[in-house]
Amino acid sequence: MSILVNKDSRIIVQGITGTEGSFHAGQCLEYGGNVVGGVTPGKGGQQALDGKVPVFDSCKEAREQVKANVSLIFVPPPFAAEAIIEAAAAGIELIVCITEGIPVKDMVEVYGFLKTTNSRLIGPNCPGLLTPDEAKVGIMPGFIAKKGRVGVISKSGTLTYEAVHQLCAEGLGQSTCVGIGGDPIIGTQMIDLLDLFEADTETDAIVMIGEIGGSMEIDAANHIKNNIKKPVIGFIAGQTAPPGRRMGHAGAIVSGADESAAAKKKIMAECGVHVVDSPAEIGITVKKQLAKA
Catalytic residues: 249
DSSP structure string for 73-94: E---HHHHHHHHHHHHHTT-SE
Does 243 sit behind a cis peptide bond, omega within 30 degrees of 0 on the bond before it? no
Checking DSSP bridges between strand 174-179 and strand 128-131, what pairing results, if any? Answer: antiparallel
Q: Classify burial at 63, counting beta carbons within 10 Å of its beta carbon; exposed 0-12, middle 13-18, buried 19 or more.
A: buried
Helix axis angle, 216-227 relative to 261-270, nearest 10°?
Answer: 10
Helix (H/G/I), strand (E/B), else coil: 66? helix
The answer to whether the CB of 36 falls within 8 A of the CB of 67 is: yes
Helix (H) or strand (E) holding 28: helix 19-31
